[in-house]
Structure 1
Amino acid sequence: MVPVAGQAPASRGRPRRNKVPGVTVHFWIIKVLCTTVGETAADLLNEKAGLGLTGVSVLMSALLAVVLLVQFRSSAYRPGVYWPAVALISVVGTLISDHLTDAMGVPPETSGTVFALVLAVVFVLWYRRERTLSLHHVDTAGRESFYWLAVLFTFALGTAAGDLVSERIDVGYWLSAVLFAAAIAAVAIAHFALDLDAVWSFWIAYVLTRPLGASIGDYLSRPTGDGGLALGTVVTGALFLAVILALVVHLSVTRRDAIEPERAWGRAA
């Protein structure tokens, strides 16, 4: 385990402002909802936009690049910029995994292993360069670059894990959601009761929320014959997007998710 004190080396001059939100209940709700929107958006664009998997990937990657450029140029965390970046990166991460599985025939267990190794490399390089993985100190371009790389590969890894459980193991969408929710609860218990490191607790839960949200989205949108509720991708995506927008507006006004030393799960993260 990489030692993390939750503090970065002191910098000279005016302190930089953090570029990511605090780990609050709002954070996890929006994260799961963004994941669901990402899953339904990827399915909708791939099936009905007529662009094909490659065309959709290029389009969404271009949009993500534009939003990340705005995010990097921002001087501090802005909910209206940060969360669209998360939603778009969830789509791109999903498409990366789908390319390997659907277009190239790579089994999800293989792609998941590759994504896990790449993610581990990102964390090692991040720590070796910055000497911290603290989410309270994502306050330089280098740290923010590592952060978004980690986010991207958690989505890709979570997609592969979700595909493996819900489709290859064939437990169904709603049971997959229950299983992943239970896994997240186990991580929370390990953090609070067994003192599992806050940073690793955060990232493990972050990976698991991807298949949780995707399973919820699939259960709501898929036809009844496939084990879903047949709401469709448009209705499901619109409902969850409306909730996301309401929460983002709320946080933009109240700033309740601005990072503070003793706030919510992950206070040492």
Structure 2
Amino acid sequence: MNKSLSITTHNAQQIFTKVPEITIYFWIIKVMTTGMGEVFSDYLVNHMNPIIAVALGGIGLVASLVLQFSVRRYVAWIYWLVVVMVSIFGTMAADVVHVILGVPYLVSTAFFAVALTLIFVIWYRTEKTLSIHSIYTRLREAFYWCTVLGTFALGTAAGDMTAATLHLGYLLSGVLFAVLLAIPVLGYRFFGLNEIFAFWFAYIMTRPVGASFSDWISVPHSRGGLGLGEGPVSLCLTIMILLFVGYLEMTRRDVKEESGVSQTR
């Protein structure tokens, strides 16, 4: 009886799994979406009315989230569409705080860090877990996407702070955050760093890594970049994301068929 109940529970939970397995493909696409969101956001703001650009970004984010919440299982193209829209709108949110409201990058970075910490605290106090392997309910999914949006806003502000306020420039900022990204990776692999802490630490760091290097590639030489342009870089990254996501849709390499009830409590 208990075994039968366990199998039934497993099958029910498997239906509602709404996030991918964490594979090398996950991290590759994640970094590319951060870079694409950064430069495409800048492209939109620079080529149309900023208010309209932000409004379009917000509408796109809401529409993608509605689609994500409407499905009952993880669907690669829907999931990554939300991540892309979060990346674009998260960039815009961080830029609005600095450019429109005049808040220094150091202050906005601290603000988003506090906001993200509060999300984590509320999520944990409510659900007793921060594991992405436990995203089986609407509430946990809502916490998850709030956290993702917070990480993008924080990463954007932190990357801009090191590049502009600390005068490191985009290339050195990218190198700095790449080193910081290696900390949770090595800590988890060799020193027994908590899996959940390592994941979210790495997740936050991927944002300034991707954004800094994409800015470096796109901005003109006068700003310390390679000068390839926001439009071409955005298009190139978009094509690469589509290819990777299309591959995952066909192969389901990011779906573990027998994942079990592996949530961390």
- Contact 1:158/1:207, CA 8 A, preserved across alignment: yes
Instruction: Give 1:185 deviation, angstroms.
Output: 0.8
CA–CA distance in structure 1, aligned partners of residues 198 and 161 of structure 2: 22
CA–CA distance in structure 2, aligned partners of residues 21 and 180 of structure 1: 24
Question: What value does the CA root-mean-square deviation take over the aligned residues?
Answer: 2.0
Report which of the two has the higher share of helix: 2
Q: What amino acid is the match of 1:252?
A: E
2:242 paired residue number: 245
For structure 2, list consecutive stretches of 5 or more residues without a partner in the other structure: 1-7
- Contact 2:106/2:165, CA 8 A, preserved across alignment: no
**Structure 2 residue 86 is the aligned partner of structure 1 residue 80:** no
1:123 to 114, 120, 124: 120
CA–CA distance in structure 2, aligned partners of residues 161 and 60 of structure 1: 21
Deviation sequence 1:113-147 (CA, Å, 0-9, x none): 11111111111111122122111121110000000
SS of 1:179's partner is helix
Q: What amino acid is the match of 2:231?
A: V
1:14 to 12, 37, 41: 12
CA–CA distance in structure 1, aligned partners of residues 229 and 85 of structure 2: 20
CA–CA distance in structure 2, aligned partners of residues 131 and 224 of structure 1: 49
- Contact 1:19/1:77, CA 8 A, preserved across alignment: yes
CA–CA distance in structure 2, aligned partners of residues 12 and 174 of structure 1: 46
Identity across matched positions, percent: 39
CA–CA distance in structure 1, aligned partners of residues 99 and 143 of structure 2: 28
1:94 to 83, 91, 94: 91
CA 1:187–1:214 in structure 2 vs 1: closer, same or farther (change >3 Å)?
A: same
1:109 paired residue number: 106
- Contact 1:79/1:252, CA 8 A, preserved across alignment: yes
For structure 1, list consecutive stretches of 5 or more residues without a partner in the other structure: 1-9
2:3 paired residue number: none
Instruction: Give 1:172 deviation, angstroms.
Output: 1.5
Q: What amino acid is the match of 1:42?
A: S
1:43 paired residue number: 42
**Structure 2 residue 231 is the aligned partner of structure 1 residue 234:** yes
Give the alignment of 1:249-268 within 5 angstroms.
249-259=246-256
Instruction: Give the TM-score normalised by the residue count of structure 2.
Output: 0.91
Q: What amino acid is the match of 1:127?
A: Y
CA–CA distance in structure 2, aligned partners of residues 180 and 134 of structure 1: 24
CA 1:12–1:189 in structure 2 vs 1: closer, same or farther (change >3 Å)?
A: closer
Instruction: Give the TM-score normalised by the residue count of structure 1.
Output: 0.90
CA–CA distance in structure 2, aligned partners of residues 215 and 251 of structure 1: 26
Instruction: Give 1:164 deviation, angstroms.
Output: 0.8
CA–CA distance in structure 2, aligned partners of residues 204 and 90 of structure 1: 17
Q: What amino acid is the match of 1:34?
A: T
- Contact 2:134/2:264, CA 8 A, preserved across alignment: no
CA–CA distance in structure 2, aligned partners of residues 117 and 169 of structure 1: 21
Instruction: Give 1:73 deviation, angstroms.
Output: 0.7
CA 1:12–1:182 in structure 2 vs 1: closer, same or farther (change >3 Å)?
A: closer
CA–CA distance in structure 2, aligned partners of residues 108 and 260 of structure 1: 43
